[in-house]
Amino acid sequence: MGAALALSIPIFDPLEEFRKVAYKAIDEWTEKFRDFFERDKPPTISEISDRFTQTRHLFLEACFEGLVTRLAEESLKQRHAKCPKCQRPLPRKRVDKKEISTLHGSFTIERPYFYCTDCKHGFHPMDEILELVREAHQLDVQSAISPLAADLPYETAARHFSSLTGIDVSSHFSHETLNAIGEKAKIKTVIPDRAEIEKRINESSIDGKPPVMVVAVDGAHMPTRPAGKRKEKRGRGQYKEAKGFRLYLLGPDDRIVHVASWHQIKDALEFESDLAMIASRIPHNKVKMCLLADGASWIWNLFSKHFPEGTQILDYFHCSEHVHETALCQYGATLQGAEWAESVLARLGLDMATSVIAGLKRMKPADKEAEKAISSLITYLTNNKNRFGYRLHKGKGYAIGSGGIESSNKFICHTRIKRSGAWWLKENCNAMLRIRCAIYNGTFQRVL
């Protein structure tokens, strides 16, 4: 008898099938450059770059779609599934098409659809497996445009994004994407965790000595408007204060090492909750705490409650402004006034607030306006008499000015929110502030 013939059954190899798709795609793509080889003169670098930009999506789209369909082939052909609510076995009802837009091109896939008549629940299992979002533009596109839209007006961000990537997006899409991300961004995610804060503290330590950590609080006024109804004129806009804090370390060579910023349009009670949260993440025994603010008593009350060990310092520039305003009212724009103001600030720098207050009480006001200014300065200095000593604090390495929090106000709040003609719904303004804080804090990827 003759030997039995062995039948060879080909084994399906998804990787090999994908390789075939990629080879075919590159063959088709290279044809886009044929005319370059038929010229008498070689193309310029700019011409080659432009052709790559115009055609690369053809190659990437084919490869991307081929990879998805090979990796998820069984799921794409799925005919039965269990209802995620009641676990009832269900037959496939239909196949739905979905347009998918990614950073590497766009294509269409067909996903099985299942429907449970008991639960009245329909679902596409492929959406969960591939983590598809409802919109055509997928998460990679959304995460890529978000930093642009957080820095630039929505329309400008969409235009630049389309120019850079070749992916057409609308200003509405960039707007809705930022609002959706901002809704998910909460303070617990936006603020670095305790381990990250400790790492920054250790890196800022000099010879094992605890570095100075500055906690600064200040407000920035944001342009807000009420919600407008369709075909109705919007109400009058108004400025609302975004209360903010910034924590930073004074590292080697007087460098500022940023730790965390947080700004929101909130009342004092809500702000306290946020400040308490960041206070709980700081290893207080590893830093020398420096607390900076203007003369608002409610801020100092919060500092005393949540950072009781901290050294409280009244912002020097805020204090200087008060002193010079009083000098102007009393002496006018004269050399005598300037000298008086500088002598007052020098004594406050040496922690001689009691002496300064006594001198103010002995002054003879030049007029009613000067009398009012002197009285106001006496109250201001009396309320903050334990928060001066600027020269002494500088000698210990503490910060005495609010430049750090003012910089945070400008970068996070003013740069994006206070654009010409911009008025924000409070909710959208807060969402944008949370996103910008996350970018500045280095935690943006956590909120996506």
What is the arithmetic mean of pLDDT over 191-203?
95
- Give yes or no for residue 19 having a pLDDT over 90: yes
b/e 376-409 (16+ beta carbons within 10 angstroms → b): ebbebbeebbebbbbeebeeeebbbbbebbbbbb
Please name the residues in contact with 356: beta carbons below 8 A apart, sequence gap of 6 or more.
Answer: 344, 347, 348, 381
- Average pLDDT along the chain: 92
Query: What digits encode the pLDDT tens for the residues 144-195?
Result: 999 999 999 999 999 999 988 888 999 999 999 999 999 989 999 999 999 9
pLDDT at 236: 81
Please name the residues in contact with 168: beta carbons below 8 A apart, sequence gap of 6 or more.
Answer: 162
pLDDT-derived band of residue 421, with 50, 70 and 90 as boundaries? confident
- Give yes or no for residue 344 having a pLDDT over 60: yes
What is the arithmetic mean of pLDDT over 214-231?
88
pLDDT at 6: 52
What is the arithmetic mean of pLDDT over 240-255?
90
What is the arithmetic mean of pLDDT over 265-289?
95
Long-range CB pairs of 436-439, under 8 A, 24+ apart, other chains included? 436/150, 436/411, 436/412, 437/190, 437/261, 437/262, 437/263, 437/412, 438/185, 438/189, 438/190, 439/147, 439/150
Query: What digits encode the pLDDT tens for the residues 89-110?
Result: 999 999 999 999 999 989 999 9
In percent, the amount of the chain with pLDDT more than 90 equals: 84
- Give yes or no for residue 417 having a pLDDT over 70: yes
Residue 80 phi/psi, 5-degree rounding, is: -140, 145
Q: Write the DSSP assignment of 282-330 as a string of letters.
A: S-GGGSEEEEEE-S-HHHHHHHHHH-TTSEEEE-HHHHHHHHHHHHHHH
Least confident of 113-127, 160-174, 229-243, 247-261: 229-243
pLDDT at 95: 96
pLDDT at 147: 93
pLDDT-derived band of residue 386, with 50, 70 and 90 as boundaries? very high
Output 440 or 207, whichever has higher pLDDT: 440
Query: What digits encode the pLDDT tens for the residues 284-337?
Result: 999 999 999 998 899 999 999 999 999 999 999 999 999 999 999 999 999 999
What is the arithmetic mean of pLDDT over 70-74?
88
pLDDT at 1: 47
What is the arithmetic mean of pLDDT over 349-360?
96
